[in-house]
Structure 1
């Protein structure tokens, strides 16, 4: 439908704008080529797998397939008309694809968001059984619960006979044992069966189960003991009938490349110019409120443990730092990622500055200088870094950022463990596309004031 509407728009635009050609009637050539292009475009998208269920609704693969198929369609149409000496309007061709390709991608995006929202509200759900040891079942169930937009509703667990119990530690009811998987699936009305660690004694057992379920309309999914690895780092290569999963090395070194630095320089300079009126108004409000300093500089730990002076608009009383220890004792919170929802140290203008994250705009100058990046783990003070344990030290492999993955995933509403997990995921799976996506999502998180205090 989108392609048909774009075709009509291209005909109208060609007649009105007269792109490339003198204004005239193009209905004759479009009547001949139009239906063929519409059908051909959809067929090429189908050949590229753009309508496959496993590619729809998650990850960038769906968009890549639609984009590549659309570019190929444009190329085939252009070359075909040239070789056949068919007088297709160049203006129509240009408008058709320059408008049609973004329209198709936007349509996929809107449909994806609608489906995700429906799944979060409990609709369009898949009934899921998870087979494996109780600990592995709980791990997989935690991921599916966290990513509710996937639409997986866990209805039960299938565990080895030696681990048989009424329910797992997280409260998932046990529906049967792994020795009778096929029968349990048939009688549970499940749509999907996940095989986690400890579910299978041998590869032949999985093959037998797949044979048993081939007429049951149940999707079989194997969940390996690999988490927090992006799709771009995973390649599956079948060798002799054995699917081998190749995992590329972590990308923390890529997150310090010249490409990311160039992106930071250009982006921060542009944003400083764009937000200059906000800088002036904010500075005036802070000065009028209590006559105190406008900016607040605080020593933070940056890349490789180096200290730097992190700039912010002042949102607290001048002696705020001296009150931290007493407040931690009153609330019982750890110093690591310490935050309070009703912090008495915050000034009157500081409340709305924090609500919309305006207080952090001066950090654009830290990005320009090279102490920070536009996207990365948030910078922390020395006492917080001193509490790092195990893999948490990997946060220091990259420049700290003004925004990051955990900020657009809930900000201060997330638990400490979840915030650290998201930061480590970012460090290990960095990509420039992910940076752009996080910046885009930051505007939604900021204007929605989600988890900001």
Structure 2
């Protein structure tokens, strides 16, 4: 049977106005030799990756030169002249520490928070170098360059990178371009799960184009099976895949995975191995070497301790500041609700919080008075998933309530719940008492932390999520919580609310 060769993407790729079909194909590596004695194709950087990386580097250089140049004109020495050496040294420090921290590596550009962490580490290192140089050379007037110039570079470079990432994600989500070709190898069930995830989250940039399984025949999730598991390296040489994703299968012993890593050397393909603990990620996973063996260490979830105290302080501080800042908005909404039908402004509902304790959750009333009494009459029209009750066109919702729900304004009074300590800014969705009666053992873990005004469920589809997906996202948050994740969710919530996605 002749082995298939990966076909190019239909329609080519485009990014930032570039027609990637007109660019020459990347050169193949000549040093690697395949089993047939010929040089195999190398999965080198695609044209769109090179273009994207060039844009990132150009934007970082532009931000550096812009800020340093402006600072040189503003910060003058006692003679009224610019600090030439200070400016040159600061610019050189930034442009050296960014590549040293691999802030321009193609492996992180457009991929998660690691890109921004490396940018931050590079700028911090640059500030430290400038400060140390000032001490060594006796230039004690470097403070403005350390505490103003370098942070300003970050304030400009960060949104520039974010804008570039939005362009990249748009190309992936809506055009299907700028993707990395992936070869998946493993058990058909685990491979199918990987395929489903890559299709649901196209912005990640993975496109599974071929599969290797133990049988070596058929298809998985609509993707053709290219060969058997022991043929993965040969298939990669023939097809030039950029990522080899290994999923769980009895075939993959430590020795075979090591051999696969050796066989892929020189192909330019990245080997990634999906752990058995698919839903555990983030700060709980650490790779460490013990007795010469690489071990994946999984730490216990943190439900108490210093980090949780920081979260508690952050929640209450932001809630208090938010209430003070948006108080005119709160008063305006309250007035509109009161003038609408003369009923109460707030709606209080009993929900289940941390450790199963109940509390009264406060919202702006968006339905007619006594809406709960007619809920039983609408059960046949329920569109919610699992034990949830949802209707896209609920006849109980008032006119002002439709607007409030569209942009989640009805949830603003929950800031008072956060201030009182019964809720958090970010956390699982606060369930109703009757919902928790149907919880299984996994869903019960949602009650280990405080419920939140927003959460992963809010930024991943809101009311459009299935019950199983909602539970999965909540459990992922409970297990892998971090302050960085909270900040990311708050930022994405603002975008989802402004767009009104998935709310009804």
Same fold per TM (> 0.5)?
yes
Partner of 1:173: 224
5+ residue gaps, structure 1: 16-20
Partner of 1:404: 455
Which of the residues 460, 468, 481 maps onto 1:430?
Answer: 481
CA distance in 1, matches of 2:408, 2:394: 16
Q: Does the CA-based 8 Å contact 2:212-2:226 persist in structure 1?
A: yes
Cα-to-partner distance string for 1:370-391 (whole Å, 9 max, x where unaligned):
2211211121211111111121
Query: Relative to structure 1, is the Cα distance of residues 294 and 173 closer, same or farther in structure 2, using a 3 angstrom cutoff?
Result: same
Q: Does the CA-based 8 Å contact 1:200-1:206 persist in structure 2?
A: no
Cα-to-partner distance string for 1:37-62 (whole Å, 9 max, x where unaligned):
43332222222222223333323333
CA distance in 2, matches of 1:331, 1:348: 21
CA distance in 1, matches of 2:302, 2:354: 15
CA distance in 2, matches of 1:368, 1:272: 9
5+ residue gaps, structure 2: 1-60
CA distance in 2, matches of 1:233, 1:145: 26
Which of the residues 63, 78, 90 maps onto 2:116?
Answer: 63
Deviation at 1:270, TM superposition (A): 1.2
Partner of 1:43: 96
Q: Does the CA-based 8 Å contact 2:240-2:267 persist in structure 1?
A: no
Which of the residues 167, 181, 186 maps onto 1:114?
Answer: 167
Q: Does the CA-based 8 Å contact 2:68-2:90 persist in structure 1?
A: no
Query: Relative to structure 1, is the Cα distance of residues 56 and 256 closer, same or farther in structure 2, using a 3 angstrom cutoff?
Result: closer
CA distance in 1, matches of 2:408, 2:228: 51
Aligned length: 442
CA distance in 2, matches of 1:303, 1:327: 30
Partner of 1:227: 278
Q: Does the CA-based 8 Å contact 1:131-1:195 persist in structure 2?
A: yes
Cα-to-partner distance string for 1:325-356 (whole Å, 9 max, x where unaligned):
23222347556222111111101111101111
Query: Relative to structure 1, is the Cα distance of residues 25 and 324 closer, same or farther in structure 2, using a 3 angstrom cutoff?
Result: same
State which drifts further: 371-380 or 88-97: 88-97
How well do the aligned residues superpose, as a CA RMSD in angstroms? 2.4
1:5-154 residue pairs with structure 2 within 5 A?
5-15=66-76, 22=78, 24-26=80-82, 29-30=83-84, 32-86=85-139, 91-92=144-145, 94-120=147-173, 121-154=175-208
CA distance in 2, matches of 1:156, 1:73: 44
Specify the SS of the correspondent of 1:210. helix
CA distance in 1, matches of 2:307, 2:261: 45
1:21-420 residue pairs with structure 2 within 5 A?
22=78, 24-26=80-82, 29-30=83-84, 32-86=85-139, 91-92=144-145, 94-120=147-173, 121-161=175-215, 164-168=216-220, 170-198=221-249, 200-239=251-290, 242-253=293-304, 257-331=308-382, 333=384, 336-420=387-471
Query: Relative to structure 1, is the Cα distance of residues 262 and 202 closer, same or farther in structure 2, using a 3 angstrom cutoff?
Result: closer
Q: Does the CA-based 8 Å contact 1:294-1:314 persist in structure 2?
A: yes
Q: Does the CA-based 8 Å contact 1:14-1:95 persist in structure 2?
A: no
CA distance in 1, matches of 2:305, 2:223: 40
Query: Relative to structure 1, is the Cα distance of residues 206 and 378 closer, same or farther in structure 2, using a 3 angstrom cutoff?
Result: closer
Specify the SS of the correspondent of 1:129. strand
Deviation at 1:392, TM superposition (A): 0.5
Q: Does the CA-based 8 Å contact 1:14-1:92 persist in structure 2?
A: no
Query: Relative to structure 1, is the Cα distance of residues 179 and 10 closer, same or farther in structure 2, using a 3 angstrom cutoff?
Result: same
Specify the SS of the correspondent of 1:38. helix
Deviation at 1:437, TM superposition (A): 2.4
Deviation at 1:303, TM superposition (A): 1.3
